[in-house]
Structure 1
Amino acid sequence: MGTSTSAFRGAAAVTVDGEVVFESAETKTTWYRLASVGKHICATGILQAGLDLHTPVATWLPTMDDRVTLHHLLTHTAGVAHWQPGVPGFDIDVPMPVDERLLLMERAPLIAEPGAAWHYSSPGYALAGRVLEVASGRPYAECLNAYVFAALGATAITAGDPPADRTIAQGHRDGQPVPTNDLTSLPGTRDVWATAAGLADFTTRLHTSTLRGVRDLTGHVAMVTDEDGITTESYGYGLYAGTVDGKAAYLHPGDNPGFQTLSVWFPEQRASIAILANEETTDPLPILHDLVRLVP
């Protein structure tokens, strides 16, 4: 493979029709926090729970604006702001009990009318994850592990705390170790862990499954972009739909201090690419272009 794949700090894997065609040295042994790659997993958990996506979120979170629905949260059209300064009193780098964080998000003023515009919002997904907890009566991580990962038979991926007996990736910035935000227990945001091979396997299992609502994960809001061989046409429930080097793809990136992540599914080839870097300055796109050559 090209130097952009061989030199980066992290792990990568490629599968085609469920068979591994590339995996880096750390792919099987090191677990990474998936960051925003976990957004469509949150959506999948909500779909498996059978929640009505057009019911006002205030049904479960009474302090929320009663115009906001789960559909709005999952498509980033709720008008919920991203992190600071959009959520008054919230500092992503300051420790705070999860319930207090969520209450600040619930009460934050909307930055747009629900359904009127697309505004990327991780707090919106935290609220969606909280709805799943309230509606099911189970902790968020327990919901994902039961409704999604166990249902699919996916093993090298988990929600909540990372596996205690595995190697956990340390984040870096410019080669120096950096602490990451302690948001493990905040539902819907950065609380899913996997190896690169585990993420690729999960992606294949998800998109080839008969789980309820999987076909609803894509295509809800027009989102037209074109950059460096990657296009998007729409955003769904935690996934962009578009093309990578001319191949139809569903994808989502993620980042948090010390990490960059990217997951791509190619529906026509039944192929998956997982890139998990524990160096914050990593640009995953050159790595993706190297790896996509392995997709037929």
Structure 2
Amino acid sequence: MDALAEDLELLPSTRRALRHRLAVAQSEGRSPSLVAAVSRGGEVLWEGSRTSVEGHGPDGDVQYRIGSITKTFTAVLVMRLRDEGLLDLSDPLGRHLPGTGADEVTVAQLLAHTGGLAAETPGQWWERSSAELRPGLAEVLGEEPFKHAPGRVHHYSNPGYTLLGSLVEALRGKPWEDVLRAEVLEPLGLDRTSGAPRAPHAGGWAVHPWADLMMPEPAEDLGVMAAAGQLWSTTGDLTRFAAFLLRGDERVLSAESVREMRAQAAPAAPGSSDGGYALGLQVNVSDGRRLVGHGGSLPGFVAGLWLSEEEDLTAVVLANCTSGVLASAVAMDLIAIVAEAEPRFPEPWRPFRETDRVPLELAGIWYWGTAAHVLRLRADGSLELGPAGVTGRAARFRGEPDGSWTGLTGYYAGETLRAVRRDDGSPSHLDLGSFVFTREPYDPEAPVPGGVDPQGWRGIG
């Protein structure tokens, strides 16, 4: 065990800064109550709450409605179907759920909101509609479901996630919430997350925009729209869920699958200030810090769940007001406060073990054309390839059982790097997505595309 293991107790100055940010959010946002939590390494670092209404004092066990954070749970269910081989993300929806009016839209496009579907359902405001006025699946898209050509742009769509919930039901043969409970909530121990509120829970309030007055909001069951925004949860449960989104859990999704969920799949919508969308997760980049997570809102409630992979930090913010508190912005600020005041300790360096196979003959300088690159081998089985100068493409690669490496970052993400060897086993060159890297610039002994001038390097005559 590391003798310098990180102390999870925050400094008093950091805790005060967190309390102050929460107090400002509750006061300026005029929320009856607000509760938040920050965690690192899956362990809660700090919890805080503010309330001004008797009987509404929250803690980490009080349920709030989380709105569109529900979409991330739905995305997890879809990724489970993919991992089991029941669908492919490139499958058109109509292959598994025909007749919706969006048969040609792919599962991946629905997950990333690039299917071109309308943002909302036609007709009544579904979030505040009673059961008899809510759309059924046949009416979710209406007669003109598309606002954009599928695959062209990112356009957030609540009906799109309703279709994904129905897809889960079609392939599992069970209601969406039953599948969610059995496959995600119970394995992860999220026993305070549910489709209907369970005491203790906060009441949802509308606060008058020009007077300090409140009015209760209705808590409608969303029916067929449930997969887009139904859930109630707590900061305790959402903190555990956020840790899962960072690390995975083999009982639900592997670390590789949740990493895939966090990877950006769609750019920001035109004119939007956000950072785009992954698979069931929003993306935000601020001050050089990449965050993924999701915001949520339903009448009476706002919510934000965000995480930083680099800092191994997560933050959850829940409030019971229709508007006023920018829950996602507050959660991002809480992460920034801790990251800046108490940055994450890096993992301790360790060398390779004596039993490790180390392809040391690959380390060092390689040339792509005339551009020098450095290949570094890491004890975790990965490698790094980057420019020897100040410019060029850099990437990290994950080792594979067959001796190749798969790109994890940058231009080479998903690409395969292989060491091509001569008959005697010595490395001839590196093949990276058809790019040839050689030990010498344009090495005449390597299969450089286009060949190498037989006269070699020369000066001006």
Question: Is TM-score (shorter-chain normalized) higher than 0.5?
Answer: yes
Greater relative contact order structure (CA < 8 Å, 6+ sep): 1
Extract unaligned runs of 5+ from structure 2: 1-18, 50-57, 208-213, 344-461
The higher radius of gyration belongs to: 2
Which among 47, 71, 74 is matched to residue 79 of structure 2? 47
Whether contact under 8 Å (1:253, 1:261) holds in the other structure is yes
Q: What's the TM-score once normalised by structure 2's chain length?
A: 0.57
Distance in 1 (CA, whole Å) between partners of 2:171 and 2:312 is: 34
Are 1:291 and 2:334 an aligned pair? yes
Are 1:268 and 2:310 an aligned pair? yes
Whether contact under 8 Å (1:223, 1:232) holds in the other structure is yes
Q: Which SS does the other structure have where 1:12 is aligned? A: strand
Which among 190, 204, 216 is matched to residue 260 of structure 2? 216
- Residue 108 and residue 197 in structure 1: after superposition, are their counterparts in 2 closer, same or farther (change >3 A)? farther
Aligned-partner residue type, residue 294 of structure 1:
V
Extract unaligned runs of 5+ from structure 1: none
Question: What count of residue pairs does the alignment treat as equivalent?
Answer: 287
Which among 225, 228, 235 is matched to residue 196 of structure 1? 235
- Within a 5 Å distance, the mapping from 1:244-259 to structure 2 comes to 244-259=286-301
Q: What's the TM-score once normalised by structure 1's chain length?
A: 0.86
Distance in 2 (CA, whole Å) between partners of 1:96 and 1:18 is: 39
The residue aligned with 1:4 is 24
- Within a 5 Å distance, the mapping from 1:215-234 to structure 2 comes to 215-217=259-261, 218-223=263-268, 232-234=274-276
Aligned-partner residue type, residue 67 of structure 1:
E
The alpha carbon displacement at 1:181 in A equals: 3.7
> Which has the larger displacement, 278-287 or 45-54?
278-287
The CA RMSD measured in Å over matched residues stands at 2.6
The alpha carbon displacement at 1:284 in A equals: 2.6
Are 1:129 and 2:165 an aligned pair? yes
Whether contact under 8 Å (2:306, 2:332) holds in the other structure is no
Q: Which SS does the other structure have where 2:75 is aligned? A: helix
Whether contact under 8 Å (2:134, 2:222) holds in the other structure is no
The residue aligned with 2:122 is 88
Which among 74, 83, 106 is matched to residue 111 of structure 2? 74
- Within a 5 Å distance, the mapping from 1:86-235 to structure 2 comes to 87-92=121-126, 93-96=128-131, 100-109=135-144, 110-158=146-194, 160-163=195-198, 166-174=199-207, 175-183=214-222, 186-210=225-249, 211-212=253-254, 213-217=257-261, 218-223=263-268, 232-235=274-277
The alpha carbon displacement at 1:133 in A equals: 0.6
Identity between Structure 1 and Structure 2 (%): 28
The alpha carbon displacement at 1:184 in A equals: 5.7
Distance in 1 (CA, whole Å) between partners of 2:180 and 2:328 is: 29
Distance in 1 (CA, whole Å) between partners of 2:298 and 2:102 is: 28
Distance in 2 (CA, whole Å) between partners of 1:132 and 1:91 is: 25
Aligned-partner residue type, residue 252 of structure 1:
H
Distance in 1 (CA, whole Å) between partners of 2:328 and 2:142 is: 37
- Residue 96 and residue 276 in structure 1: after superposition, are their counterparts in 2 closer, same or farther (change >3 A)? same
- Residue 11 and residue 68 in structure 1: after superposition, are their counterparts in 2 closer, same or farther (change >3 A)? same
The alpha carbon displacement at 1:167 in A equals: 1.2
Q: Which SS does the other structure have where 1:79 is aligned? A: coil
Whether contact under 8 Å (2:294, 2:305) holds in the other structure is yes
Q: Deviations over 1:15-68 (max 9, x none)?
A: 111221211242323101110112121111111123322222123332233211
Distance in 2 (CA, whole Å) between partners of 1:226 and 1:17 is: 35
Q: Which SS does the other structure have where 1:77 is aligned? A: coil
Q: Which SS does the other structure have where 2:295 is aligned? A: strand
> Which has the larger displacement, 145-154 or 47-56?
145-154
- Residue 265 and residue 285 in structure 1: after superposition, are their counterparts in 2 closer, same or farther (change >3 A)? closer
Distance in 2 (CA, whole Å) between partners of 1:186 and 1:232 is: 24
Aligned-partner residue type, residue 38 of structure 2:
V
The residue aligned with 1:35 is 67
